[in-house]
Chain A
Amino acid sequence: MRIPRGELRRSRVVDDAAAVLRTVLDEELTGYVVFEPQDALLLGETTRGVVTFEDGIPVLAYDTEREVGGRDGLEGFAVTGPTRAAVHAVDADALADAHEVEAFRVPPGEPARVLAGDERLAAKTTDAAPAARREEGRDQSAVESFLADADAIEEIRSEAREEARARASEWGLDDVLADDADDADDADDADDADAAAIDVGPDSR
């Protein structure tokens, strides 16, 4: 995702992301805020994410380290403790392209909810959003259609099975694999290469 470089308004370490989101809402910022949780830095890790805004209402979220957008991206930098927040202003026109990326969009109240656990601010932000955006929320119908697609789900499951088995050998855990898992192994060895391409998310190690 490309976000045009904006004009830095202010950058400071805050204890609570809610304070930043509240000010941005009040001043109706169009631009973006870069969040950088400070505790992660102490551990020698970098955690960083961006939220973009249109008239103070969050539009996109993107975890720049894990390169994940949307609600999932948001969770990547939802870390408790002090965070550096750098507020940038950008022309609405310049942001329009980036804001087309559906996959990275978040419902208006989501940053307040996920980054700050502040339901009241989430509700306030949603109320302040344009009517069309107020409807965006956790989309139950998306969950229902996901679960209705039995083939897609079987694919997720069989890929995970493959991956579990491949890794079991890697980790020397072969011997604790269930017997039926071993049997399945013989049946679809050919798919192993595909399984390796699946991303299971960041490792804790």
Chain B
Amino acid sequence: MVEAFAVASGKGGTGKTTSTLALGMALAEDYDVTVIDADTGMANLLFHAGLDDADVTLHDLLVDERDAAVSDAVYERFGLSVVPCGTSLAAFEAADPGRLRDVVAELAADTDVLLLDSPAALGSKSAVLPVVLADRIVVVLQPTVPSLSDGLKVQEYAHSYGTDTAGVVFNRVRPDENVDRIAEQAGRYFGGQTLASVPESDAVRAARREGKPLLAHAPDDPAADAFREAAARLDVRDGDGREVAERFKSAVVPERI
């Protein structure tokens, strides 16, 4: 079975990368999880996962005459299969975003859950592709007006491409904030459910500095608990891996922008 989730927000810095790895590790208790850095223009998942010096990355799989196999860019870390992306601007420019579909299709054949760490922008084809390719999105929000507003936008983009909302994670919630009221109101506009309210936590930043996912660095931190709760609420749907792979293959994505 396989379901692909795009972890998206519309706005930068809400905690998509943090959430992708945290949800991935929590889901890995029950599923075979593959995490992909689909933020190909501003990749940074590699830093969060201690893969700074990864030799082969997603960028190498997105070039026309590639000589790397998809499996060369898959790293087994923290109980996850991680596909990092490089940070070179030249590599990003050489990459053909349309090829992401083939890579995702190939990875889908061999995993239970795919998590696509998605870009903060919506202004280019490479930025929306993760949302186009995914079955559902997980929206990572901060309880602020700009974040909610951008979250609504990314959700509309997703829905336009037939991608549903699995749920919403409120992140970086401060002790003085009562997210319940906001979540209840937001629930009227966002699909799916409120998956969790993740507190602002020093452990998250410390984990990033250590190059480890939060759940590896500080598994007992309240923020880690909240992410595990979110993962438990995510009802991963059954899908036939081959079928999904086929669907990705048949999605009509032209070769070039």
Contacts and interface: CB of A to CB of B under 8 A. Distances in A.
**Majority DSSP secondary structure for residues of A touching B:** helix
A112 interface: no
Contact of B157 (A138, A160, A204): A160
Given A140-B143, A164-B160, A173 B149 contact: no
A146 B182 CA distance: 10
B123 A202 contact: yes
Nearest to A140: B177
Interface in A118-148: 119, 137-138, 140, 142-144, 146-148
Interface string B133-166: 0000000000111101110110111011110000
Nearest to B162: A178
A165 B127 contact: no
Given A147-B148, A156-B149, A178-B162, A205 B13 contact: no
A117 B18 CA distance: 15
Given A201-B150, A204-B42, A117 B205 contact: yes
B127 A178 contact: no
A173 B126 CA distance: 11
Contacts of A202: 121, 123
Interface string A67-92: 00001100100100000000000000
Interface in A148-205: 148, 150, 153, 156-157, 160-161, 164-165, 167-168, 171-173, 175-179, 181, 200-205
Which 9 A-B pairs rank lowest in CB-CB distance, beginning with the nearest? Answer: A204-B41, A203-B123, A178-B162, A160-B156, A147-B185, A175-B252, A164-B160, A205-B124, A160-B153
Interface of A: 43-44, 71-72, 75, 78, 117, 119, 137-138, 140, 142-144, 146-148, 150, 153, 156-157, 160-161, 164-165, 167-168, 171-173, 175-179, 181, 200-205
26 contacts: A71-B144, A143-B143, A143-B182, A146-B145, A147-B148, A147-B186, A147-B189, A157-B155, A160-B156, A160-B157, A164-B157, A168-B161, A171-B125, A172-B125, A172-B253, A173-B125, A173-B128, A173-B253, A176-B253, A178-B162, A201-B10, A201-B11, A201-B121, A201-B122, A203-B127, A204-B127
